Structure 1
Amino acid sequence: METAREESARGSDDDAAQEDTTSVADVSVEVATVDATLNKLCRRYNGRRRRAKKIKKKNPILDLQNLAILITVVVFVIVVIMWSLLWVFIFRRESNSGVYFAGMFRVANVEFIPEYRHADSSEFVSMANRIQHVITSVYRTSSVSRLYKQTVISDLSNNNQGGVLVHFWMIFVVPHLKTPSVCEDCVSAILKDSVHMSLQNRSSVGFLQGLPVDIDSILVNVALRSDYSSTAVGSQCVDKLYAGVPDVSIPLNVFSSWGGLSCYIKLTSAPGSVIRLTVKSFRIDPSDCVYDALTVYDSLLPMRGMILYRVCESVSAPISLVSTSNVMLLSFRLTQGNKIFRGHFQALMEEQCMNTIALPAGPGDAGVITSPFFPSLLPRQCSCTWMFQMPSGALGVALRFQNYMLKLKDLQNCEHGWWKINEIIYCGNYIDYSTVFRIPAQNPEVVFRCSSRSADQSFNATYSSYNTSQPCPEGHFLCSTGLCVEKFRRCDGLDDCQDESDEMFCSKPPKICGGLSPLHPLYICNGETDCSSGKDEINCTQETSCSGVSYQCGNGACILKKNAKCDGLHDCYDRSDEKDCACGNPTASKRVSDSAATQQRIVGGINAMEGEWPWQVSMHFSGQMYCGASVLSDEWLLSAAHCFSKERLADPRMWMAHLGMLNQGSAKHVAEIRRFVVHEYYNARNFDYDIALVQLKKAWPSSLEKYIQPICLPAPSQTFTEGHRCWVTGWGYRSEQDKILPTVLQKAEVSIISQSECKRSYGAVSPRMLCAGVPSGEQDACRGDSGGPLSCQAHSGGRWFLTGVVSWGSGCGRPNFPGVYTRVAKFVDWIQRHIQNL
């Protein structure tokens, strides 16, 4: 900087000298005396020098000012450029972030006219403009007025309650940081509050800017932009069909030409009717509704709160479902390929489900009651009332359900049917066995209400009379399920009551190995020598009557041997017991030393060895270990339903399966998930039917069979006596208080606990559960082990069977509170049905 300043000063002196030279030349033309001329030249020269000095003193300041101006200009230009870039790439994008809502409400006291069904009619346009103006006025004066963009009226339909049902879209332009200000509940509340202010005389109809609106009919759901654009007026993938005549079937066929698109079919019917849709066949790739799917809505817009039914896999047997009003929307999401839908729909007049039934005094079934629109699936809303009349006060009504049971309502809502029987409220639940519900009253009134969020399974029940003082015939035992079984079946080792109530709290049967009395069925051919003579394990391949404790061969014949499957012996005449036995035979590598094994304990567990449990799988959600699973084949895994039942956990795209892994992060194969098959009867409240299948997108390579192997599925008759030793494995926590997961696969040895003892610990334990642990609780599964295997060998050195799936328990490792596992033997048929059909 000093050099620059010196150069500047030198430049100023040169300029001054040039000016002096010019002045001397000019003087020669003046007429004056020499002295005067000299004086004049001196004055002029001195004046120039003083000005030059002043200029030299001012230049640094001027330079600083010029530099400041230059910097300011440059900064200004940069700011303008940056602001423009921010506007283009961030703020403008933020401001163009549309948030879409689909909504509906009923306009009361307005007559529906046929022209409203056509969006291009002048009548529709006029009514739509009026409603649009009203909604816009409400939101323009609300707290979200700056974010509100527009309302689009999609459809006007007639309504079984009278008036006009309005289906509309609302669009907000919202920066991401302000998205919470237009949450679903907030947007809905603005509309409801506007109506609520004008409610009078306990009526549900108020006025929205002068428009009579039923406040109970208002529903607003967040939607996707793709749904809005796909259903917009003029879309090439929206069809509208109308059923004006009841009971006339209108065909519906969709072919692969629709592939790669989201297409919609809007169905409406005459007032006072509902729509029954029948799906005859549907050919798609199963994928948990991620790629191919049919979603049926109880409205004319794709609203989450109005989903009636979803089809995520191919349909071969017909399915029918019924709407709650006279509108229905079919949403097809089809990827490329040979995809075909065949079905039809029809209008049905609303049923008045109310019957008076007179029962005879004699024994035997008197008739059948069914759910509304049986055998169609139950709609989201329905009601039935049955009034029974008995000929005598000593008689009551017995209802025998095939796959349903009633229990007293607790603090939870009824999810599968609400029942009121003689002023007592019950909740219904679906199961896979029969129950009998007895009503000890002469003229009971039975009221049923649908209570599911979507279409539910149908039900039927045979009704008969019974003697209230003696529900079961002489010599019979009354089960907790309401069934009556012969008393001699009590404590015979067979679940005759279908809930094990006939086998609970039985004393252990004596081992009578000599004499004429037969040995108890529990000891016969169970794989253990209970009699010193060995008579209990003789003639085990002898055919016997089929029951829950006999092994059924492929030809349908049953043998006494309970654990005949894959034991290395041909017990069945057709040798079917040794088929499909390439499973449960690990080739564990070098065993770790005991000192190393005890360094990382997980509720009494020790480190596993490489290849010791080749069927163990680690299921990762969003990159984090979340649950376990077991390998059943090169494409299928088995896990727990509660791992995937919640909505946020149901997307298979968020999951990865890590196979052939000993240390976390060292999997031999990592697989994407195609879909989950959660048991249809899974009960999230008590973990009943806590089982799920997991299908991989691609099979794991056979070259990894040293590290990855399936575990054997048990036979339905498989039985292990109390105290049988098994192993539970997983990467779960070491204790309840632990917050660090182990990196090495852990294993813990546990013992099978009798069902009676299990019920003493927990009370509500279903026949589809089993307990395993140790009395001290020091060896147990814990959080993170869910879905993993309980592996058992029928005999030392034999193959390993998947006896249980880690399900639930009271804490981890607590004394007298063993782990509770899903009993896999109860689900073998369910597993095979799904695996073989897909």
Structure 2
Amino acid sequence: MDKENSDASPKPADLKISNISIQVVSVPGRLPGRRPLRKPIGKARPNKKSKKRTPFWNVQNKIILFTLFLFILAVIAWTLLWLYISKTESRDAFYFVGMFRITNIEFLPEYRQKESREFLSVARTVQQVVNLVYTTSAFSKFYKQSVVADVSSNNKGGLLVHFWIVFVMPHAKGHIFCEDCVAAILKDSIQTSIINRTSVGSLQGLAVDMDSVVLNAGLRSDYSSTIGSDQGCSQYFYAEHLSLRYPLEISATSGQLMCHFKLVAIVGYLIRLSIESIQLEADNCVTDSLTIYDALLPIRSTALYRLCEPTRTLMSFVSTNNLMLVTLKSPYIRRLSGIRAYFEVIPEQKCQNTVLVNEIPGFEGKISSPYYPSYYPPKCKCTWKFQTPLSSLGIALKFHNYSITRKSAKGCEHGWWEINEHMYCGSYMDHQTIFRVPSPLVHVQLQCSSRLSDQPLLVEYGSYNISQPCPLESFRCSSGLCIPQAQRCDGVNDCFDESDELFCVTIKPACDVAVFGQPGPLVCDGFRDCDNGQDEHNCTQSIPCTNRAFKCDNDICFKKQNARCDGIGDCPEGSEEDSCSCSRSSSALHRIVGGADSPEGAWPWQVSLHFVGSAYCGASVISREWLLSAAHCFHGNRLSDPTPWTAHLGMYVQGNAKFVSPVRRIVVHEYYNSQTFDYDIALLQLSIAWPETLKQLIQPICIPPAGQRVRSGEKCWVTGWGRKHEVDNKGSPVLQQAEVELIDQTLCVSTYGIITSRMLCAGVMSGKQDACKGDSGGPLSCRRKSDGKWILTGIVSWGHGCGRPNFPGVYTRVSYFVPWIHKYVPSLL
């Protein structure tokens, strides 16, 4: 205030706080005790003398202007914040895709035209119903819209409506949108009657089949390509001729590929899609894929099958209704990519039959899954009734690449079987199995998988003598196959499950020459029938040596495959062991327990396999030009080509190999199963054999004897350049090692449930010591106590995570494959 105003002394009775805080006196000598009457604004006259004396930029005006400035700034900030939040919410859209069947509306051909009055009328009705359902739900403030994409006929009658539902909300609240929650709101809105026990109920006046309601979370890209402006190469096909093949081809040379093919057949028929070839850029389902749906929109729960790698093998799939959607996605195309396929209209098959089996030896007929050789659709059901002419005859079923076992509580992934009221689960494998039912009347029922289409099944049938399931002079494998008795206990696994070699009892001769009881001299056949080798030491005749036999210094020949390098002195002077070339390296005694950097040079047989210049898998040196690895490293058209592969030998730090060779040949085991990782073994031949001058840095590891039995609890080592932890993004630059122990096979089976005799488990049940991604194909090395040699006991194959408690690593059991290895690498004999 001005000084003169501050000197005035107001009367105590008239003093008010409000007056003090706002009144400014500009006339000298006037007391502030009473205010003058306010004059009309229009008649007010400015006091020129006062305006001259009062500066505009006084303290009070500054405060007022500053407050006004802060207010404007706050309004602008709040507006910008609101716009940002609003924009953010519009980005965080959640898409749900679904369908349901309306039973009280008859299908019209005009519904196929989205511009028609009939389609728009149905679409408007369905959208109004869905709007009402969700605007009155707990998600009402987030609900944005529903869009009807297709209205089609179906084999059950009425209309099949495909639609999208869109919600918008801040990203932080997106977790409340669970699929089950959104679907439950729609299903709970359908009013059904308990009295008539039907699944059809009323949804705001629409008669909706509750069993047909499907609702899944969808992708923005799928929404844009089916509804929005970014529709890409979407095509609609309507097929009504049974004798025609409708081509389905698309190709692109650059850019982005996102195609949707909607296939619709006449009512009462199904669609069979046959894929002749498909080219995709990647070997995974994240970026590139072809997916087949049992609907007209990409509804995840209706997916029939998904292809994620290039193929030129004819594959065909059958729908469960008169419609199908085929999507082909490739976000970035570097070369010609596309699909060559065709589809056709086929009638529905009834999979049931009564079969009279004759009294003849062998198998006389075949049954198969529906639509064989196509992949059979989910939820199919087949019934067969077999009858033999005699009560002494039963039914034998020979499954091709398939087997059935007693059903467990876990359920059946590849169909379940009911055979004379006993339940079984099916699984795929790479050999035949025989299942025998000791009854002249057999009722067989197949219930297909309820999730996806599955590989076609072929089963031969015939009769057999119940009292003698296998012919005389033969042995019955646990898989049901019959082999000649002479092939049992011969060291060769004639039964695919090893049952001919397991629990064998061979009759050994007495090892005292006086009680041999043989009329003539003993023959040196190369087999140590006596523990002390007396049957070989005292023999007088020897067998001639063949190319694959080893000749001792005393001219005795050993024809058995595991005579050399097995740690047993078969030759009296041990010459077959002295000339063995596999590693006796002892430097690994100084290793660090628990997974750490290995000492340089400790594992001279360790190999790093590089695919297109990057470390991809591991392998083991078994000879100068052959490596042993895992089959799954080379699964796929691109990976099975040896051209992009190089082998790095004598390496400690990635990039510093002592020897590098291109891969000349990749031999994947012919029975390898990519779904179960059974027979997960492969041989690699080098283009250039590593030189003898590097034998101090590169050494082969010993192959175990065929059928070698390992002991649980035995300590072994796993090595590689793979990830140090499950969550790591890249492998280790330095070769790592970890000590693990062999796990009992029974415990391994109880942990994973799908362990075959060609697998073994190793690890630490408490976790934290294990192989991981990038170590695949590498060695599980065990040191033999008898001679200190290192044996390639296992190959890194698969497992649940890396180093997780109670989930040890699963390895390929190398001893099972010794005959197979010798077939390609005879120099190891």
TM-score normalised over the length of structure 1 = 0.69
Cα 1:529–1:562 change in 2 (3 A) is: farther
Which residue number in structure 1 is paired with residue 318 of structure 2?
Answer: 322
Residue 243 in 1 paired to residue 228 in 2?
A: no
* 3-state SS of 1:84 partner: helix
1:363-762 correspondence to structure 2 within 5 Å: 363-451=361-449, 453-506=451-504, 539=545, 541-542=547-548, 562=561, 597=590, 600-602=592-594, 607-609=598-600, 612=603, 615=606, 629-631=617-619, 668=655, 681=673, 689=678, 727-729=717-719, 747=737
| Equivalent in 194, 197, 200 of residue 202 of structure 1 | 197
Contact 1:504/1:755 (CA < 8 Å) preserved in 2? no
The 1-side partners of 2:798 and 2:393 are apart by 43
Compute the displacement of 1:611 (Å). Answer: 7.6
* Secondary structure of the structure 2 residue equivalent to 1:412: coil
| From 5, 29, 32, the counterpart of 1:47 | 29
Change (3 A) 1:510 1:152: same
Moved more, 751-760 or 293-302: 751-760
Q: Distance in 2 between matches of 1:660 and 1:90?
A: 58
Which residue of the partner structure matches residue 347 of structure 1? 345
| Mapped pair 1:73 → 2:61 | no
Confirm whether residue 282 of structure 1 aligns to residue 278 of structure 2. Answer: yes
User: Could you say if the C-alpha distance between residues 114 and 479 of structure 1 is closer, same or farther in structure 2, counting changes exceeding 3 Å?
Assistant: same
CA distance in 1, matches of 2:460, 2:378: 24
Q: Could you say which residue in structure 2 is the equivalent of 1:550? A: none
CA distance in 1, matches of 2:335, 2:254: 10
Partner of 1:767: 757
8 Å CA contact retained: 1:601, 1:734: no
**CA separation of 1:730/1:182 partners in 2, compared to 1, >3 Å: closer, same or farther?**
same
- Report whether the alignment pairs 1:299 with 2:299: no
Structure 2 residue 785 is matched with structure 1 residue 789: no
Q: TM-score if structure 2 supplies the norm length?
A: 0.69
Quick one: structure 1 residues 68 and 754, their matched pair in 2 at CA, closer, same or farther if it must change by over 3 Å? closer
Q: Are 2:270 and 1:264 aligned?
A: no
1:153–1:168 Cα contact (<8 Å) kept: yes
CA drift of 1:205 comes to 1.1
Please, what is the CA RMSD of the aligned residues?
Answer: 5.7
Equivalent position of 2:578 in the other structure: none
- Give the superposition deviation at 1:330: 1.2
Distance 1:173 1:491, change over 3 A: same
Q: Distance in 2 between matches of 1:154 and 1:565?
A: 71
Number of aligned residues: 696
Query: In structure 1, what is the equivalent of residue 643 of structure 2?
Result: none
Structure 2 counterpart of 1:609, which letter? E
2:13 corresponds to: none
Q: Secondary structure at the match of 1:456?
A: coil
CA distance in 1, matches of 2:703, 2:366: 35
SS of equivalent to 1:433: coil
Residue pair 1:102, 1:301 contacting (<8 A) in 2 also: yes
Identity %: 39
Aligned residues of 1:807 and 1:820 also touching (Cα < 8 A) = yes
Change (3 A) 1:103 1:366: same
Taking structure 1 as reference, are residues 231 and 825 closer, same or farther at Cα in structure 2, changes over 3 Å only? Answer: farther
CA contact (8 A) 2:274 2:317 kept: yes
Counterparts of 2:741 and 2:788, CA distance in 1: 18
1:145-168, CA deviations, whole angstroms, 9 ceiling, x for partnerless residues? 111111111111211122211111
Name stretches of at least 5 consecutive residues in structure 2 with no aligned partner: 8-25, 34-49, 551-557, 567-580, 622-626, 636-647, 657-667, 683-689, 726-730, 822-829
Aligned partners of 1:405 and 1:491: how far apart in 2? 24
1:180 aligns with 2:175: yes
Quote the Cα distance in structure 1 between the aligned partners of 2:404 and 2:269.
Answer: 31
Cα distance, 1:68 vs. partner?
5.2
Give the 3-state SS of the residue equivalent to 2:281 in structure 1: coil
Determine whether 1:804 maps to 2:786. Answer: no
- Which of 217, 220, 245 is 1:222 aligned to? 217
Change (3 A) 1:247 1:749: same
Q: Encode CA deviations 1:719-743: one digit per residue, 9 max, x unaligned.
A: 65758996423699999xxxxx999
- With 710-719 and 113-122 compared, the bigger mean Cα shift is at 710-719
Cross-structure match for 2:99: 104
Give 1 or 2: higher helix fraction.
Answer: 1
Aligned-residue offset at 1:493 = 1.5
Hey, what's the Cα distance between the residues in 2 that align with 1:426 and 1:617? Answer: 43
Match of residue 552 from structure 1: none
The 1:422/1:50 distance shift into structure 2, 3 A limit, reads closer
**1:308–1:454 CA contact under 8 A, matched in 2:** yes
1:326 maps to a residue whose letter is N
Cα drift, residue 711 of structure 1? 11
Partners of 1:725 and 1:536 in 2: how far apart? 40
Residue 20 of structure 2 corresponds to none
Q: Give 1:84's aligned residue.
A: 79
Determine if contact 1:206/1:215 at 8 Å carries over to the other structure.
Answer: yes
Could you say which residue in structure 1 is the equivalent of 2:41? none
Which secondary structure does the structure 1 equivalent of 2:374 belong to?
coil
Give 1:165's aligned amino acid: L
Q: Which moved more, 1:324-333 or 1:75-84?
A: 75-84
Match among 193, 208, 212 for residue 213 of structure 1: 208
- Cα separation, partners in 2 of 1:98 and 1:781, compared to 1, 3 Å: closer
- In 2, Cα distance between the equivalents of 1:319 and 1:183? 35
1:501: Cα distance to partner?
1.4
Deviations 1:237-271 (A, max 9, x none): 21111111224211122122685220111101011
Aligned pair partner of 2:166 in 159, 171, 183 = 171
Q: Does 1:823 align with 2:813?
A: yes
Q: Secondary structure at the match of 1:177?
A: helix
Any idea what the Cα deviations from partners look like across 1:697-753, whole Å, max 9, x if unmatched?
xxxxx9xxx9xx999899999765758996423699999xxxxx9998654678989
Question: In the aligned structure 2, how far is the partner of 1:409 from the partner of 1:716?
Answer: 36
In 2, are the aligned partners of 1:492 and 1:520 still within 8 Å (CA)? no
The alpha carbon displacement at 1:88 in A equals 3.2
